């Protein structure tokens, strides 16, 4: 039966449509066009265009309201209030963004009924990314500007909407920043971006909320699950006494690792690398400060790799970081692979440049015009150069420190050869050096192999890779790549040489690179709920010596004796070639020191006390497994050096076993097992025909099946929904699958190799 809307409703709807039409007719400003790819800058430009004042503060990234509060206390203005933003999906398909004061309690069941949704569940990460271009921990009201399909309804807390002059704190697409707005200013922003009518509801969310049944203020853009109904009180278990060192460490709640690796991997990772003093955040999104604890690891990697490539005649060099537009666009397929990530310099002071200048995303187009001038004859070949430098790739997705950043450090080798026979052995040799860096230095097992045609380097001939794997999240990480570029670039840049017959020949070229991503992979694999755990070969400090039991009744003479012995022990260990530190600073307790170095990942801690000296042996704790043992003081240097080898080996073997358990081999008729394998946080080794169309189909169909499974009623809304991507064709192949069925459904081309598929960063 049809119903007729009342005149007031019709007028409101007409006004909404007129506002949207006016918004669509507005010309896009140059500033908005320039900032569209940078979410934070985009939000700020929209606020400016809406004539909303920007009150901005920067701080360490925060994932919860509790973590936000200490920073808020420093910049709180005029009684400003923190907020929380919750992303829900209804059982009947509605999508909702709740914007409320941080302490708001509400009944989700009652709210679902009001919204005619039967049930509300937290929206999946993929849905959050797809609709609002953000992630949990950073959910915010400004993200609504990315809702191009107008699929999301905003439920605005009446306490904010009617808050008068009170300032409310929100994240502007980045949880390391805070913006403060009044409720009226927020609504002005909503009006400017065309949000209104049925898509914006002001609600008294806290009205009649039953205690204990509502989501509690748990996160800046993230909520904990509703509390269960109260149970009858049970007798409290008897409190167990903690060891003194644990008590001292536990007192440091402000710097502890509160989040669990298995429960909130992204939040855990942020805490581990910041509180382990590996990185600090910078005021440009996606750019990070490498602190000494991280940079010294990079130096260990540099030292090993530099010494190895010098053995094959690679020479050091440095080329400028700027690339002319013409040079960058010289090789079309190459620039197409980087086009979305290129950062451009367009101004010098207040003057526009005649031609924009790119900041290198890689250096082929910087170096190769010069190679053309340097190479004349086959006598000039092979030419092998390497530079250690930074590159900029302006990622628009959410950056992850070390793993995916806008600026990163790397080495890039570029070599020129007479032919494929000279070029390819170098490609494999460099790849094996990368394998050694991961396995022998970082204790991270990797799969060495060749990329498929679809995944190879843009403009290249053949790409080889070492693929690492993070078992906790079931994702692969491309560890490093070594490319044979063939003659593609030499033809484009005119790099030719005269052979021994006097004929002009196009040269063959290679390029290879390794980045600071290595550090992030290492942390993800070995880190635990106590912090970073470093393999000895790259640890800046391999052993720390700590005096214990020298306070209280201990005389100053005995205390000095213990401290002096700590320094003597450290010197003996250093003489054995081990990087060691004696921490005799009296300002920290032994418990605080142990906690600090555990969080920093120092492989071995040695405690030295009076009783230890009397017995002639000292207590040793291994960081990676917490195992305690005793070592004799006599010959401590040699024993410590041997212990480094043991710890390094144990960490690699543990990681190898864990990774090995995450690979499942499937036959060509087992397509139905592919997505369930991925959902068990595993990779799949499958027979594959190496056809690009099949690879596209595998990714497409596995993505569809993943989404369907995630949306099924009996599967958690936050289940992973990413499809399968080819990682590599491993060089270590099982028996050849020639003639076997390809894993791709409907493919009638026989498989030619085993290929590793999985989810990846």
Structure-derived torsion over alpha carbons of residues 622, 623, 626, 628, reported in degrees to the nearest 10: 20
Query: Does residue 242 register a pLDDT over 50?
Result: no
Cα distance between residue 467 and residue 449, in whole Å: 8
What gap in Å lies between CA 532 and CA 524, rounded to an integer? 9
Ranking 28-32, 349-353, 436-440, 659-663 by mean pLDDT, the lowest is 28-32
Which class for 3: exposed (0-12), middle (13-18), buried (19 or more C-beta within 10 A)? Answer: exposed
Alpha helices in 238-310 (DSSP H): 244-250, 265-275, 292-310
pLDDT score recorded for residue 164: 87
- H/E element holding 675? helix 674-679
Number of folded domains in the chain? 4
Q: Give a yes or no: residue 673 inside a domain.
A: yes
Q: How many C-beta atoms surround the C-beta of residue 538 within 10 A? A: 25
Q: 398 and 472 share a domain?
A: yes
- Residue 533: predicted pLDDT: 98
Quote the pLDDT of residue 50: 92
Among 36-40, 79-83, 375-379, 616-620, the range scoring the smallest mean pLDDT is 36-40
676 and 654 share a domain?
A: no
Task: Based on the fold, state whether residues 648 and 670 are members of the same structural domain.
Answer: no
Instruction: Give CB contacts under 8 A, 24+ apart, made by 45-51.
Output: 46/142, 46/145, 46/189, 46/192, 46/193, 47/142, 47/179, 47/189, 49/192, 50/188, 50/189, 50/191, 50/192, 50/193, 51/188
Contacts of 11 (CB under 8 A, 6+ apart): none
Tell me, yes or no, whether 449 and 582 share the same domain. Answer: no
Burial of 208 (C-beta count, 10 Å sphere; 0-12/13-18/19+): exposed
> Which of 383, 381, 481 shows the shortest CA–CA distance to 430?
481
Angstrom distance (rounded) from CA 436 to CA 616: 38
Cβ pair 283, 289 in contact under 8 A: no
pLDDT for 106 equals: 80
What does the pLDDT read at residue 236? 43
Q: Is residue 267 part of a domain?
A: no
Domain boundary among 605, 623, 658: 658
Three-class SS of 554-615:
CCHHHHHHHHHHHHHHHHHHHHCCCCEEECCCCCCCHHHHHHHHHHHCCCEEEEECHHHHHH
pLDDT of 21 above 70 = no
Judged by DSSP in three states, 297 sits in helix
Q: Quickly tell me which residue has 């320039």 as its tokens.
A: 34
Band of pLDDT at residue 365, cut at 50, 70 and 90:
confident
Same domain, 15 and 37: yes
Q: Which structural domain range is residue 449 located in?
A: 288-316+369-526
Angle between helix axes 517-526 and 265-275 (nearest 10 degrees) is: 110
168 close to 101: Cβ distance less than 8 angstroms: yes
Angle between helices 183-192 and 39-49 (to 10 degrees): 100
Q: How do residues 191-225 score in pLDDT, each as one tens digit?
A: 999 998 889 999 988 764 433 333 333 334 443 33
Whether 391 and 493 share a structural domain: yes
Task: From 539, 545, 538, 411, select the one nearest 482 (Cα to Cα).
Answer: 411
Cα 400 to Cα 412: distance, rounded to the nearest angstrom: 22
Residue 215 covered by a domain: no
Q: Does residue 208 sit within a domain?
A: no
210, part of any domain: no
Residues forming beta bridges with residue 288, ordered by sequence position: 281
We report the CATH number of the domain holding residue 600 as 3.40.50.800
Which residue from 321, 319, 317, 323 is spatially nearest to 335, judged by alpha carbons?
Answer: 323
In whole angstroms, how far apart are CA 168 and each of 163, 217, 280?
Answer: 9, 15, 26
Query: What is the edge-to-edge ordering of all strands in the sheet holding 543-547?
Result: 580-582, 543-547, 604-608, 617-622, 628-632
Which segment of 250-259, 526-535, 628-637, 679-688 scores lowest on mean pLDDT? 250-259
User: In the structure, what pLDDT confidence band is assigned to residue 266 with cuts at 50, 70 and 90?
Assistant: confident
Tokens read off for 590? 């032994």
User: Does position 333 have pLDDT exceeding 70, yes or no?
Assistant: no
The pLDDT value given to residue 62: 84
Say if residue 519 is in the same domain as residue 594: no
Do 129 and 135 contact (CB within 8 A), yes or no? yes
Query: Do 111 and 130 fall within a single domain?
Result: yes
Residues 6+ apart with CB under 8 A from 215: 86, 105, 106, 108, 223, 224, 225, 226
What local confidence, expressed as pLDDT, does residue 580 receive? 98
User: pLDDT at position 247, please?
Assistant: 36
> In terms of domains, do 648 and 674 share one?
no
Question: Which pTM does this prediction carry?
Answer: 0.72
pLDDT at 291 over 90: yes
Q: Give yes or no: residues 679 and 692 share one domain.
A: yes
Do 703 and 594 have their domain in common? no
Q: Is the pLDDT of residue 112 over 60?
A: yes
Best-predicted range by mean pLDDT (5-19, 420-434, 455-469): 420-434
Residues 6+ apart with CB under 8 A from 419: 508
Strands (E), 145-285: 152-157, 168-170, 177-181, 200-203, 279-281
Q: Each residue of 742-761: pLDDT tens digit?
A: 999 999 999 999 999 999 98
Domain CATH code at residue 137: 3.90.960.10
Q: Which of 203, 228, 256 is the last residue of a domain?
A: 203
In a domain, 249, yes or no: no
* DSSP secondary structure, 520-542, as one string: HHHHHHH-BTTB----TTT-S-S
Which pLDDT band holds residue 332 (cuts at 50, 70, 90)?
low
C-beta separation of 672 from 743 below 8 A: no
Residue 380 DSSP class: G
| Alpha carbons 124 and 21: distance in angstroms, whole number | 32
Question: Is 18's pLDDT higher than 60?
Answer: no
Tokens of 761: 């960063």
Give the CA dihedral 567, 571, 573, 578, nearest 10 degrees. 110
Query: Which position has the token pair 């949704």?
Result: 117
- Looking up residue 453, the CATH number of its domain turns out to be 3.30.930.10
Domain end (from 595, 630, 658): 658
At 319, the pLDDT band (50, 70, 90 cuts) reads very high
Using alpha carbons, select from 612, 656, 603 the residue that is nearest to residue 630: 612
Task: Provide the pLDDT confidence category of residue 229 given band limits of 50, 70 and 90.
Answer: very low
Name the residue among 629, 643, 485 with its Cα closest to residue 578.
Answer: 643
Residue 623 inside a domain? The answer is yes
Give the integer Cα–Cα distance in Å for 449 and 13. Answer: 59
CATH number at residue 707: 3.30.110.30
Question: Per-residue pLDDT for 343 more than 80?
Answer: yes
Q: Is residue 269 part of a domain?
A: no
Which residues contact residue 742 at a Cβ distance below 8 angstroms, ignoring those fewer than 6 apart?
668, 687, 688, 689, 691, 694, 749, 750, 751
Element (H, E) at 158: helix 158-161
Phi, psi angles (nearest 5°) of residue 78: 55, 35
In terms of domains, do 86 and 44 share one?
Answer: yes
The string of pLDDT tens digits covering residues 547-592 is 998 876 578 889 999 999 999 999 999 999 999 999 999 889 999 9
């Amino acid at each position: 039966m049809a119903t007729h809307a009342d005149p007031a409703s019709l007028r409101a709807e007409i006004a909404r449509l007129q506002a949207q039409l006016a918004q669509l007719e507005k010309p896009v400003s140059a500033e908005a066009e320039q900032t569209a790819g940078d979410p934070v800058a985009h939000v700020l430009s929209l606020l400016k265009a809406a004539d909303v004042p920007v009150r901005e503060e920067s701080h360490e990234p925060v994932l919860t309201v509790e973590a936000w509060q200490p920073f808020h206390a420093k910049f709180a203005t005029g009684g400003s209030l923190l907020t929380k933003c919750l992303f829900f999906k209804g059982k009947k398909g509605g999508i909702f963004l709740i914007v409320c004061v941080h302490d708001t309690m509400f009944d989700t069941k009652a709210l679902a009924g009001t919204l005619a949704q039967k049930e509300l569940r937290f929206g999946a990460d993929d849905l959050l990314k797809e609709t609002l271009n953000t992630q949990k921990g950073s959910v915010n009201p400004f993200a609504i500007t990315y809702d191009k399909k107008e699929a999301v309804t905003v439920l605005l807390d009446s306490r904010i909407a009617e808050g008068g002059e009170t300032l409310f704190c929100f994240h502007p697409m980045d949880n390391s920043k805070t913006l403060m707005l009044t409720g009226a200013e927020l609504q002005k922003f909503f009006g400017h971006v065309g949000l209104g009518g049925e898509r914006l509801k002001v609600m008294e969310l806290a009205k009649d909320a039953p205690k204990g049944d509502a989501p509690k203020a748990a996160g800046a853009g993230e909520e904990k699950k509703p509390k269960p109904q109260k149970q009858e009180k049970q007798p409290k278990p008897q409190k167990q006494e903690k060891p003194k060192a644990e008590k001292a460490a536990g007192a440091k709640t402000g710097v502890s690792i509160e989040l669990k690796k298995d429960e909130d991997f992204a939040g855990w990772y942020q805490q581990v690398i910041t509180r382990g003093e590996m990185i600090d955040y910078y005021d440009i999104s996606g750019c990070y400060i490498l602190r000494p604890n991280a940079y010294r690891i990079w130096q260990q990697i540099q030292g090993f790799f530099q010494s190895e490539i010098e053995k094959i005649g690679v020479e050091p060099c440095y080329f400028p970081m700027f690339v002319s537009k013409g040079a960058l666009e010289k090789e079309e397929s190459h620039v197409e692979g980087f086009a979305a990530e290129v950062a451009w310099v367009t101004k010098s002071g207040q003057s526009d440049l005649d031609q924009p200048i790119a900041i290198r995303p890689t250096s082929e187009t910087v170096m190769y015009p010069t190679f053309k001038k340097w190479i004349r004859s086959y006598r000039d070949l092979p030419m092998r150069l390497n530079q250690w430098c930074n590159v900029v790739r302006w990622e628009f997705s959410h950056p992850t420190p070390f793993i995916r950043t806008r600026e990163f450090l790397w080495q890039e080798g570029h070599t020129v050869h007479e032919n494929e026979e000279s070029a390819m052995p170098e490609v494999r040799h460099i790849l094996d050096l990368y394998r050694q860096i991961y396995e022998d230095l970082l204790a991270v097992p990797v799969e060495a192999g060749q990329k498929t045609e679809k995944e190879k380097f843009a403009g290249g001939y053949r790409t080889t890779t070492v693929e690492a794997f993070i078992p906790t999240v079931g994702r692969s990480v491309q560890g490093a790549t070594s490319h044979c570029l063939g003659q593609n670039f030499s033809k484009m840049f005119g790099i030719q040489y005269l052979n021994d017959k006097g004929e002009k020949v196009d040269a063959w070229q290679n390029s290879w690179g390794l980045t600071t991503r290595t550090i992030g992979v290492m942390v993800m694999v070995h880190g635990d709920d106590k912090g970073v755990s470093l393999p000895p070969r790259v640890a800046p400090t391999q052993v720390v010596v700590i005096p214990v039991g020298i306070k209280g009744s201990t005389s100053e003479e005995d205390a000095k004796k213990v401290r002096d012995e700590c320094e003597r022990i450290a010197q003996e260990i250093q003489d054995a070639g081990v990087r060691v530190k004696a921490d005799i600073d009296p300002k920290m307790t032994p418990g605080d020191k142990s906690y600090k170095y555990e969080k920093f990942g120092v492989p071995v801690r040695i405690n030295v006390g009076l009783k230890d000296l009397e017995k002639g042996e000292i207590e040793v704790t291994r960081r990676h497994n917490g195992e305690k043992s005793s070592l004799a003081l006599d010959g401590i240097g040699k024993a410590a050096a041997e212990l480094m080898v043991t710890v390094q080996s144990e960490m690699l073997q543990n990681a190898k076993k864990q990774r090995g358990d995450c690979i499942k081999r499937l036959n060509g008729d087992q397509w139905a097992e592919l997505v369930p394998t991925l959902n068990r946080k595993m990779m799949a080794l499958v027979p594959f025909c190496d056809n690009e169309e099949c690879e596209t189909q595998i990714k497409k169909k596995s993505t569809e099946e993943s989404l369907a499974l995630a949306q099924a009623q009996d599967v958690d809304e936050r289940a992973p929904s990413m499809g399968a991507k080819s990682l590599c064709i491993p060089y270590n192949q099982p028996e050849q699958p020639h003639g076997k069925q390809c894993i791709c459904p409907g493919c009638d081309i026989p498989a030619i190799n085993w290929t590793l598929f999985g989810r990846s960063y």
